[in-house]
Amino acid sequence: MSYTNFTLETDSDGIALVTWDMTDKTMNVFTLEVLEELDAIVDKVTNDEAIKGAVITSGKSTFSGGADLTIMASIFERIHEERKKNPEGVAQILFDQIGQMTSLFRKLETCGKPWVSAINGVCMGGAFEMSLACHGRVAADAGHVKMALPEVKVGIFPGAGGTQRVPRLTNQQDALMMMTTGQNLSPKRAKALGLVHDIVEPDQLIETAKQMIRDGLKPVQPWDEKGFKLPGGQIWSPQGAQLWPAVSANLRKQSYANYPAAIAIIKCVYEGLQVPFDTGLRIEQRYFTEILQTPEAYAMVRSLFVSLQELNKGARRPAGIEKTKFSKIGVIGAGFMGAGIAFVTAKAGIPVVLIDRDQEAADKGKAHSEGLVAAAMKKKRMSQEDADKLLSLITPSTDYSDLEGAELVIEAVFEDRGIKKTVTEATEAVLAPGSVFASNTSTLPITGLAENSKRPDDFVGIHFFSPVDKMMLVEIILGEKTGDRALAVALDYVQAIKKTPIVVNDTRGFYVNRCVMRYMNEAYSMLVEGIPPAMIENIAKMAGMPVGPLALNDEVAIDLTQKIHRATIADLGDKAVDPRHVQLIDTMVDTHGRTGRKSGKGFYDYPAKPAKKHLWPGLKDLYPQQDPDNVSVDEIRNRFLVTVALEAARTVEEGIVTDPREADIGSILGFGFAPYTGGALSYIDEIGAKDFVEMCDDLASRHGEHFKPTPLLKDMATKGDSFYSRFGQGAGIGQAA
């Protein structure tokens, strides 16, 4: 039998080498066809007496990324359709469908012949679950080899036996940590946990795997042998008595029970380890069926899996424009942002010229990269050779003529129109026609800045977030005259540096900063109302935000907020900013000298380590405090989520954001908007426009006009629309990238 996605070769020792290599994919993934072919191969190995065992590996540089999004899409579509015609039977249909992979992996491990997984690259999700079902596992000793069960990050969990095999191979605490966080494991860490048997040089991988079979590898898993004992002790043991009472409490402390999949993992392990293995698989299958029907799973898979891949692959790139291959990038401004942009550019293998007004400043900008490289080497994440190569690509300079030949130049100078005008003119004097000029401004409208350019069609905004090396989102801002080619070049660059782009139209604050300001503004209002600061911060985290709004403001700097207030008032008038907020920020900066983390004092105090930051005690003295017992937790939680979602809706109504995928991804990657919701617009869609409008009206009656629903939302409520159904692009989760 011939296979489309695999090859099977048997050597003279009777060992079959099964090589997974999908010709139409850059990475191997599980599709329905792959599962069918693998099922046939398992039968072939089982029934062919000449075959003594099998080694499965990848023909690509990576092993596998796990399940293809089309499988998940088909499952959600099946749920949607079945609920229409058979709401009571949907769970059983779903249960049967998702059991296919579980059954196949169980069939493999009980076939009576040994299987070894030879892991030669990234091995994620279902691929790692398949490897765990093999009787032996060997990993290549290389920096790019990573193993993980990351499903919880997209709202689901390892549902093909992962929750049952991992805690039977390693201790329960490490197993739970691995699965509830989705953390990556290096080969050494995986071996220390007992999840792989050996680590070898890449060129010895296949031979080592075959030798395991020649040496008599038992075709029986430990849990299928009589007398098997859990490596971490039984659930009802002294060790279990110490672990399990704290497990749920710790998870609730970290996630506030916002992620049903993480809770389901704990239940699967706790219940599954008390019963025979096959019963444990059934328990896992039932919980997986339940989780797939939750709104959190649907929203997170759509945004953080499907939409994220679509945007990363260029969903918004104009058609018909040749892709740019970068030979040189220019960065003007060697401060913290500019230096970070230079680093990620060089890390992508692109030569970069880093310009500042004097050589000392330019050299200091390169020193930022030297520090990042040194830290990576210390953690053994980068070799000396790679470090030297990266640094050699950064050329600090004061001479604008060094920009000649650059396909793209990014200015990252101070938020001052005059300085940006000077930089634009000096750069365009040396740039060849067709080269693109980008501004990294975070607040100034691109259309206004492009007035300084002789070629506004080649002028675009590329807004990075701090710190550049860690933040994955990049906002690309279109001025009124920005052309398709400039957009294409900007998207090609963001793809080259392996970050996620969203494309927005021009406005003050663009998209992400507008939403962030709403989040912080609501906290200012709460402070003025006398809501205890600790409640503000803790309830924001309960709502799903990674940090409270006051801590976030400290990170971006309170005096920057003051500058934004003053610039907004200068441009739009006194009514553009709540005077209570202006007074609060001016008091913090001018009266108390509290500018944020950079100065060691803001809304928080930042004592010397090892002491931890804590809220400034004087904060509660600025306004009369409410009795905490009279403050509604749900009210505060709703205020935070609704104010951000409402601002996202405004940007759609104003035509700033045109694609719901970008609004959702931007809100999550830009400032961590409650990932379990799937993003700001998905949050509204899940509630439903009608109910969301009612929430807005209710909040507006008590907390101000900024909560009033927009005409678009009212229209959507009347017509029963959602953002994804109304605005099309990315509306169907079944769209495959």
pLDDT tens sequence across 591-606:
999 999 999 999 999 9
- The per-residue pLDDT for 737 is 28
> Of 384-398, 561-575, 632-646, which gets the smallest average pLDDT?
561-575
- For the cut 80, the answer to whether the pLDDT of residue 642 exceeds it is yes
What are 85-106's pLDDT values in tens digits? 777 788 888 888 888 999 999 9
Whether omega before 610 lies within 30 degrees of 0, making that bond cis, reads yes
Alpha helices in 573-677 (DSSP H): 579-586, 633-653, 660-671
Cα separation, 119 vs 730, whole angstroms: 34
* H or E stretch at 479: none
CB 737 within 8 A of CB 316: no
> Of 30-39, 236-245, 477-486, which gets the smallest average pLDDT?
236-245
- The per-residue pLDDT for 164 is 98
- For the cut 90, the answer to whether the pLDDT of residue 477 exceeds it is yes
Rg (CA), the chain: 28
CB 513 within 8 A of CB 527: no
Q: Region 688-710: what's the mean pLDDT?
A: 96
- For the cut 80, the answer to whether the pLDDT of residue 672 exceeds it is yes
What are 480-511's pLDDT values in tens digits? 999 999 999 999 999 999 999 999 999 888 99
Cα separation, 368 vs 397, whole angstroms: 15
- Please report how the helices 260-272 and 162-169 are oriented relative to each other, as an axis angle in degrees rounded to 10: 60
CB 663 within 8 A of CB 679: yes
Which residues make beta-bridge pairs with 505? 478
Q: Region 390-410: what's the mean pLDDT?
A: 97
CB 116 within 8 A of CB 213: yes
Q: Region 510-530: what's the mean pLDDT?
A: 96
How many C-beta atoms lie closer than 10 Å to residue 414's C-beta?
A: 12
Tokens encoding 314: 């260029």
Band of residue 729 on the pLDDT scale cut at 50, 70, 90: low
- The whole-chain average pLDDT of the chain stands at 93
Q: Could you give the C-alpha distances from 644 to 523, 648, 657, in angstroms and in order?
A: 12, 6, 14
329-508 under CATH 3.40.50.720, yes or no: yes
CB 412 within 8 A of CB 331: yes
Band of residue 77 on the pLDDT scale cut at 50, 70, 90: confident
Tokens encoding 659: 């694609």
SS3 state at 54? strand
* H or E stretch at 469: none
How many C-beta atoms lie closer than 10 Å to residue 325's C-beta?
A: 9
* H or E stretch at 215: none
User: What's this model's pTM, rounded to 2 decimal places?
Assistant: 0.91
How many C-beta atoms lie closer than 10 Å to residue 371's C-beta?
A: 12
Higher pLDDT, 151 or 381: 151
Amino acid in the structure at residue 588: M
Cα separation, 236 vs 270, whole angstroms: 10
Nearest to 101 by CA among 129, 76, 80: 129
Tokens encoding 295: 């709104």
Chain centroid to Cα 66, Å, comes to 17
Band of residue 416 on the pLDDT scale cut at 50, 70, 90: confident
Chain centroid to Cα 272, Å, comes to 30
- The per-residue pLDDT for 86 is 78
- For the cut 70, the answer to whether the pLDDT of residue 137 exceeds it is yes
Beta-carbon contacts of 640 under 8 Å, excluding residues fewer than 6 positions away, are 519, 522, 539, 540, 543, 545, 549
Q: Give me the DSSP letters along 3-28.
A: -SSEEEEE-TTSEEEEEE--TT-SS-
- The per-residue pLDDT for 2 is 85
Tokens 């790019």 found at? 144
Q: Could you give the C-alpha distances from 13 to 265, 341, 437, 644, in angstroms and in order?
A: 41, 54, 62, 64
Max alpha carbon distance in the chain (Å)? 85
Whether omega before 445 lies within 30 degrees of 0, making that bond cis, reads no
Amino acid in the structure at residue 378: K
Band of residue 69 on the pLDDT scale cut at 50, 70, 90: low
Nearest to 535 by CA among 607, 612, 637, 623: 637
What is the length of the chain? 737
Tokens 């030669």 found at? 120
CATH fold of 513-726 reads N-(1-d-carboxylethyl)-l-norvaline Dehydrogenase; domain 2 (1.10.1040)
Q: Where are the domains of the chain?
A: 6-293, 329-508, 513-726
- The per-residue pLDDT for 70 is 64
CB 51 within 8 A of CB 120: no
> Of 258-267, 632-641, 728-737, which gets the smallest average pLDDT?
728-737
CB 467 within 8 A of CB 444: no
Phi (first) and psi of residue 23, to 5 degrees:
-70, -25
CB 442 within 8 A of CB 467: no
- For the cut 60, the answer to whether the pLDDT of residue 638 exceeds it is yes
SS3 state at 411? strand
Which architecture does CATH list for 6-293?
Alpha-Beta Complex (3.90)
Q: Is the dihedral of CA 462, 464, 469, 471 positive or negative?
A: negative
- The per-residue pLDDT for 89 is 80
Beta-carbon contacts of 250 under 8 Å, excluding residues fewer than 6 positions away, are none
Cα separation, 271 vs 62, whole angstroms: 34
Chain centroid to Cα 578, Å, comes to 33
How many C-beta atoms lie closer than 10 Å to residue 573's C-beta?
A: 9
> Of 203-207, 241-245, 405-409, 421-425, which gets the smallest average pLDDT?
241-245
Cα separation, 29 vs 67, whole angstroms: 5
- For the cut 50, the answer to whether the pLDDT of residue 730 exceeds it is no
Question: What's the distance, Cα to Cα, between the start and end of the chain in Å?
Answer: 30
List the 394-397 sheet strands across, edge first. Answer: 394-397, 352-355, 329-332, 408-411, 436-439, 459-464, 473-478, 500-505
Beta-carbon contacts of 253 under 8 Å, excluding residues fewer than 6 positions away, are none
Nearest to 462 by CA among 444, 445, 480, 474: 474
Cα separation, 518 vs 546, whole angstroms: 16
Cα separation, 1 vs 36, whole angstroms: 13
Tokens encoding 310: 């679509």
- The per-residue pLDDT for 475 is 96
